[in-house]
Amino acid sequence: MSQPMNHQWRLKNRPVGMIDETDFTWHQEAVRSPENGEILIRSVYLSLDPTNRIWITDMPQYMEPVQVGDVMRGMAIGVVEASENENYAAGDIVSGMWGWQEYATVNGNQVTKIPSGLPVPLDAWISVLGATGMTAYFGLLDIGQPKEGETVIVSAAAGAVGSIVGQIAKLKGCRAVGLAGSEEKCNWLTDDLGFDAAVNYKTDDLHGAIKAACPNGIDINFENVGGKILDTILTQINMRARIVLCGLIANYNSDEPVPGPYHFAQLLMQRARLEGFIILDYIPQFPKAIAEMATWLAEGKIKYRVDKVQGLKEAPTAVNYLFTGRNIGKLVVQVSDLPS
């Protein structure tokens, strides 16, 4: 049989400000057959994440930046089409970092097999049971150390991570407050996900709105955004508050140095702890967390939503939705059909 063609998005130049399709090259090449321990994967879902924007800058970061000319990096899920690796067979579902391409021919040791035993849809594995769900789980529980009765406020709460953070906070007996950018998102948080309150951060009086939503102050801030939102939160933290620094998307598209929060000194006054974390460090602990999260899913205690953009061609456009606030829940590209 003749091999299909593979399409890729390759980085053409480092974007200035928001990503533009012209920052990438749409590259076509023949799919390469696997050899010596390799497998051929057909991508099904490609994860779009705020951190994609970091990877294509040359700022100091937690992994090597993507180099100009390389296939854009990204987490994906796909189906094994052909295998020259004894650990994989055609039809297996795998996840890995093969990036923005329709097919990938990679060594089997570069991917992880998705367990087949759990009764969850495939899109759970790129969202609530994937890196973003794990980010919510370990960030809140390990860094945030929530205690019953505390108030947890999460920014970008209608996003892939934030929406899970608030629900886990509720499961731990906390008051969960979400910040999001539209009434539709706020309603989703309170009506569907069980957040105690949601604040539209586009309100005129952000300080007053947060105060009303957090009458006992803020014990934990799960921070995805930074900028003005973090600054306002810092004025309302309680003694020994914890700031789980997960992301700073307010900064990622800036080409100017961005000042840190003006109320930085509140971290001193309130003896607060602010701690950055990167989910890659927790990979060895994923299996136990996935098992617990899957139980919560099965019991209906955690809900998730996946926002699917159709076709790899859309990836450079769609990744900006993370910064403009267009998506609700986890943003992915559906690269090809689900395996039957």
165 binds a copy of itself (CB under 8 A): no
283 binds a copy of itself (CB under 8 A): no
Residue of 235, 238, 253, 320 that binds a copy of itself (CB under 8 A): 235
119 binds a copy of itself (CB under 8 A): no
Subset of 174-233 contacting a copy of itself (CB under 8 A): 226
- For 162, the 3-state DSSP assignment is helix
Report the residue number, 192 or 281, with the smaller CB distance to a copy of itself.
Answer: 281
CA pair distance 336, 79, nearest whole angstrom: 10
Q: What is the token pair recorded at 215?
A: 């009458």
Please identify, among the stretches 83-91, 99-107, 117-125, 271-279, the one whose residues bind a copy of itself according to the rule CB under 8 A: 271-279
CA pair distance 277, 55, nearest whole angstrom: 16
The burial of 145, by beta-carbon neighbours within 10 Å (0-12 exposed, 13-18 middle, 19 or more buried), is given as: middle
Residue of 208, 281, 288, 338 that binds a copy of itself (CB under 8 A): 281
Report the residue number, 104 or 279, with the smaller CB distance to a copy of itself.
Answer: 279
CA pair distance 170, 17, nearest whole angstrom: 36
Report the residue number, 108 or 261, with the smaller CB distance to a copy of itself.
Answer: 261
Residue of 107, 112, 266, 336 that binds a copy of itself (CB under 8 A): 266
Count of chain residues binding a copy of itself (CB under 8 A): 34
DSSP 339: P
Residue of 245, 289, 293, 315 that binds a copy of itself (CB under 8 A): 245
Report the residue number, 265 or 338, with the smaller CB distance to a copy of itself.
Answer: 265
273 binds a copy of itself (CB under 8 A): yes
Residue of 225, 323, 309, 250 whose CA lies nearest to 20? 323
Taking the complex as a whole, the smallest distance from the CB of residue 246 to a copy of itself amounts, in Å, to: 8
Q: How distant, in Å, are the alpha carbons of 7, 14, 24 from that of 67?
A: 18, 9, 12
Q: What is the token pair recorded at 223?
A: 């921070």
CA pair distance 29, 136, nearest whole angstrom: 37
Per-residue mark of binding to a copy of itself, 23-62 (x: CB under 8 A) = ------------------------------------xxxx
CA pair distance 325, 59, nearest whole angstrom: 24
Report the residue number, 282 or 296, with the smaller CB distance to a copy of itself.
Answer: 282
261 binds a copy of itself (CB under 8 A): yes
CA pair distance 200, 205, nearest whole angstrom: 10
Q: How distant, in Å, are the alpha carbons of 77, 194, 313 from that of 31?
A: 18, 46, 17
CA pair distance 174, 16, nearest whole angstrom: 40
Residue of 78, 146, 247, 316 that binds a copy of itself (CB under 8 A): 247
272 binds a copy of itself (CB under 8 A): yes
Bridge-based pairing state of the strands 273-276 and 237-245: parallel
Report the residue number, 13 or 61, with the smaller CB distance to a copy of itself.
Answer: 61
The burial of 200, by beta-carbon neighbours within 10 Å (0-12 exposed, 13-18 middle, 19 or more buried), is given as: middle
Report the residue number, 263 or 308, with the smaller CB distance to a copy of itself.
Answer: 263
Report the residue number, 265 or 291, with the smaller CB distance to a copy of itself.
Answer: 265
Binding stretches for a copy of itself (CB under 8 A): 59-62, 226, 235, 245-248, 251, 257-278, 281
